[in-house]
Amino acid sequence: MMKFKPNQTRTYDGEGFKRRAACVCFRNEREDEVLLVSSSRHLDQWIVPGGGIEPNEEPSGAAVREVYEEAGVKGKLGRLLGIFELNQDRKHRTYVYTFVVTETLEVWEESLTIGRKRKWFELDEAIKVLQSHKPDHAVYLHRLRDICNPPHSPTNGNALSSSVTDNNAPHYVVRPAKGSGHVNNR
């Protein structure tokens, strides 16, 4: 099923990347349960809620708007996990934040118009589900795990490094490296 949206305006940055924003939504501050939504194109597959940044919109505002539209939840925006450039073919640059859900709507617009669903997953289960259907989104949760539990051994080039702990921290761009991501300070 194709998603219909009245506003198809896409914004791009100076380097030609489509500007996007997303939130990794948690049930509470423990950050151990993640809310995923069904894809608009494949309702049997799960994704992290997110989408395009509209003209004159800040990434954080877009992230909150997208969570409300796609997941039908409200809550508290948290820290910036990173700025991800994982889809090089389509040139997306996605700002990904944490978000703690405080209110869940019974029915929301995209549940009615396209049949979108939402479901809570334990963190490890969410990673597995995303890895099989949307590996770019699984990287967000790997990034979260690396920030919360940094590896004690030297990196072998396959792990993400350099933590981003709050919205005032330097921005990092997570780019793909052969088979996995690495972090570049921007």
The two tokens of residue 31 are 């950050």
CA distances from 44 to 112, 119, 130, 134 (A): 16, 12, 12, 12
Annotated active-site residue 70? The verdict is no
Look at residues 181, 186, 185, 184 and name the one whose alpha carbon lies nearest to residue 88. Answer: 181
Looking at 29, 66, 69, 122, which residue is catalytic? 69
Q: What is the DSSP string of 61-97?
A: HHHHHHHHHHH-EEEEEEEEEEEE---TTTTEEEEEE
Side chain identity, residue 77: L
Rounded Cα–Cα distance for residues 47 and 135 (Å) = 9
Q: Provide the annotated active-site residues.
A: 69
